[in-house]
């Protein structure tokens, strides 16, 4: 006998708009590119209604953004990117599109080595994380992580910036600038990717912020020398994502909490960190801490009214909190599906509504949107 009960736990608990306080919410529109929605990208209003949709030719590698000109910047999954290691199929991108609201492709750039984050810079350039095999003998110098076979390659991060002509204008290789003993891989992670830059940002000084997933920590890198100018260590963050430079000079980040030292349960936080003192100056966590947790992905965005938009990626839960950490809006992504390829399904099995990052936009940032 087949049960009539919905077997997708997250959907059974409720999807769509869950809560909204219009007096305290910043309002606006949320851009969502679900990982398993087949390339559909949705713009959802504050009431939870879809007001615009794009249908991209490839599924998302990671996320989508609205660019200053109103077009969509899309980080797509490159169809011909060869598998480098087990989770690669689930989290690589490498097929970038700029698309008008009407769906016309006006720019495309490809790099099959891309993974995780990419930043569409104000000057039109694209900053993104790629990877390549580390030099011979280098893996032996990297401490930590779970053991792997002698024939298994280790990949290191290569951060690249390209201009609108697709020309490489800046490149940074992790093994040329980081001392491995200062960045050991945490015991719970494999040794196939070091230090796994899963998030990028640019601060007011033009330095590139990098979130180091498998080693924990956030660094800032000087573009001219490649040197590390700031390091927020694992004692402050735990396998975080999405470092964002705020107008006040602080760094906002989604602190996932995998293997958090001293914690008997796993939980996530959103942190605002003073990069000089390394002190946490603001944070959000659920009162019952394990009720807010994403083992992978996630981001936070500071809104114009001081609220913070948060993406709890693994569960497709999006919510907005005030500076006093009151939840004033909550929405659960209603689109579920499996990854289309077997390799990704092995690492991310089941019917998922997960998303890498989401972003909130004001009406003024969407001049093409019909009233």
- Model confidence over 219-237: pLDDT tens digits? 999 999 999 999 999 999 9
The answer on pLDDT for 42 being more than 90 is: yes
The answer on pLDDT for 1 being more than 80 is: no
The answer on pLDDT for 296 being more than 80 is: yes
The Cα–Cα gap between 153 and 133 comes to: 7
Tell me the average pLDDT of the chain: 96
Query: What confidence category does residue 341 fall into, taking pLDDT thresholds of 50, 70 and 90?
Result: confident
Give percent of the chain above pLDDT 90. 92
Distance of CA 239 to the CA centre of its chain: 12
DSSP structural state of residue 336: -
* Count of other CB atoms within 10 angstroms of residue 297: 24
All domains in the chain, ordered by first residue: 13-365 (2.130.10.10)
Q: Which of 298, 320, 306 is nearest to 253 (CA)?
A: 298
Are 276 and 248 contacting, i.e. CB atoms less than 8 angstroms apart?
no
Q: What is the pLDDT of residues 316-330, one digit of tens each?
A: 999 999 999 999 999
Residue-level pLDDT at 2 = 79
Give percent of the chain above pLDDT 70. 99
DSSP structural state of residue 207: P
Give me the sheet containing 299-302, strands edge to edge: 16-20, 327-332, 317-321, 308-312, 299-302
The answer on pLDDT for 344 being more than 90 is: no
Residue-level pLDDT at 295 = 95
Mean pLDDT of 261-279: 96
Question: Where do we find the tokens 């689109």?
Answer: 335
Question: Where do we find the tokens 């736990």?
Answer: 9
**155-162 and 193-194 beta bridge pairing:** parallel
Q: Name the pTM for this structure.
A: 0.97
Query: What confidence category does residue 91 fall into, taking pLDDT thresholds of 50, 70 and 90?
Result: confident
Q: What is the pLDDT of residues 104-137, one digit of tens each?
A: 999 999 999 999 999 999 999 999 999 999 999 9
């Amino acid at each position: 006998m087949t049960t009539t009960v919905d077997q997708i736990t997250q959907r059974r608990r409720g999807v769509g708009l869950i809560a909204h306080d219009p007096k305290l919410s910043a309002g606006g529109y949320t851009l969502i590119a679900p990982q398993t929605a087949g390339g559909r990208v949705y713009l959802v209003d504050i009431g939870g209604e879809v007001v615009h949709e794009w249908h991209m030719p490839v599924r998302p590698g990671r996320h989508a953004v609205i660019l200053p000109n109103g077009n969509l910047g899309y980080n797509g999954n490159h169809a011909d990117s060869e598998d480098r290691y087990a989770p690669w199929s689930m989290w690589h991108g490498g097929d970038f599109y700029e698309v008008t609201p009407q769906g016309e492709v006006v720019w495309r750039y490809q790099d099959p080595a891309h993974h995780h984050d990419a930043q569409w810079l104000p000057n039109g350039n694209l900053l993104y994380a790629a990877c390549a095999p580390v030099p011979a003998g280098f893996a032996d110098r990297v401490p930590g992580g779970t053991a792997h076979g002698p024939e298994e390659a280790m990949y290191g991060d290569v951060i690249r910036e390209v201009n609108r002509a697709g020309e490489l204008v800046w490149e940074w290789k992790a093994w040329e600038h980081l001392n491995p003993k200062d960045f050991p891989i945490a015991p719970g992670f494999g040794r196939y990717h070091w230090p796994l830059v899963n998030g990028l940002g640019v601060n007011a000084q033009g330095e590139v912020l990098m979130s180091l997933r498998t080693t924990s920590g956030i660094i800032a890198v000087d573009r001219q020398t490649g040197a590390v100018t700031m390091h927020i260590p694992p004692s402050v963050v735990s396998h975080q994502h999405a470092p964002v430079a705020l107008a006040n000079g602080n760094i906002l980040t989604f602190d996932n909490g995998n293997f958090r030292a001293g914690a008997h349960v796993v939980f996530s936080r959103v942190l605002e960190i003073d990069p000089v003192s390394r002190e946490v100056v603001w944070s959000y966590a659920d009162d019952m801490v394990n009720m807010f947790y994403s083992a992978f992905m996630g981001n936070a965005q500071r809104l114009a009214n001081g609220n913070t938009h948060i993406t709890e990626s693994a569960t497709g839960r999006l919510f907005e909190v005030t500076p006093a950490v009151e939840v004033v809006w909550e929405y659960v992504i209603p689109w579920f599906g499996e990854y289309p390829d077997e390799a990704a399904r092995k690492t991310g099995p089941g019917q998922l509504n997960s998303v890498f990052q989401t972003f909130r936009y004001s009406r003024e940032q969407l001049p093409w949107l019909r009233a």
